[in-house]
Copies of this chain bind each other. A is one copy, B any other.
Amino acid sequence: MADRTDPPQAFGRAVEQEMGQLFEDLPLAEQERMVEAILFATAEPQTLRDLCARLPEGTDVGHALALLERRYQGRGVHLVQIGEAWAFRTAPDLGHLMSREAVDLRRLSRAAIETLAIVAYHQPVTRAEIEEIRGVSVSRGTLDLLMELDWIRLGRRRMTPGRPVTFVTTTGFLDHFGLESARDLPGVQELREAGLLDNRSAPGMPLSLEDDEDPDRPAQDPLFDPDDAV
């Protein structure tokens, strides 16, 4: 397009200007929608010069901006001038509608996502069972976080000695992960076939009892080191 300004173009421009007398300039409405699209899609407010550089020769950017500004008057979005540049902004009286936008996205810790995965696949599952599967202890905080996120909740108590509580996933969980039901989670075999599981080593290996990232790992793990037996 006409966004380069190297010397040969300057010559070209002169020619084009002459051509402009021969050919019709772009209709104003077309110029206006071009400016509209650019101001919508760019990440920074655009100066007149920025806009000119993007638009075809002969565009009357100032005029297009004036039309656009009038068009958006009283709308939910306004065309505003910020210093030398132009941008669309939410109408000041509607700012409150955007308040929900202010969210900090944080990645779930590895302990949390693994715990969640185990609950999802093995529900209803007790804390002891989660620990057995992960091979490391699960901190209360991890379960609390997952409950706070409304991804897991308490299920029925297990009818075994001690009547431990169980954990199950929630509708919020299905919602967040775009699942229709927990049954739709793929099995281990399917994970492997989808390439999600690196099968360099055979599955069904004994549980590894170490997780170096987990501070509250049970202290007895070295016990299971066969080399160590005296």
Contacts and interface: CB of A to CB of B under 8 A. Distances in A.
A194 B123 CA distance: 17
B172 A186 contact: no
A167 B216 CA distance: 25
A190 B178 contact: no
Contacts of A37: 76-77, 90-91, 94, 97-98
Given A41-B90, A157-B184, A189 B203 contact: no
A178 B186 contact: no
A99 interface: yes
Contact of A54 (B40, B100, B195): B100
Contact of A97 (B34, B164, B178, B214): B34
Interface stretch (A6-14, A15-23, A217-225): A217-225
Interface in A18-56: 32-38, 40-43, 53-55
Contacts of A108: none
Interface in A163-187: 163-166, 170-172, 175, 178-187
A207 interface: no
A101 B216 contact: no
B187 A96 contact: no
Contacts of A41: 77, 90, 98, 101
A1 interface: yes
B188 A165 contact: no
7 contacts: A33-B76, A40-B76, A55-B97, A121-B218, A121-B219, A154-B186, A187-B220
6 nearest A-B residue pairs (beta carbon):
A187-B218, A33-B76, A37-B76, A36-B76, A189-B214, A140-B195
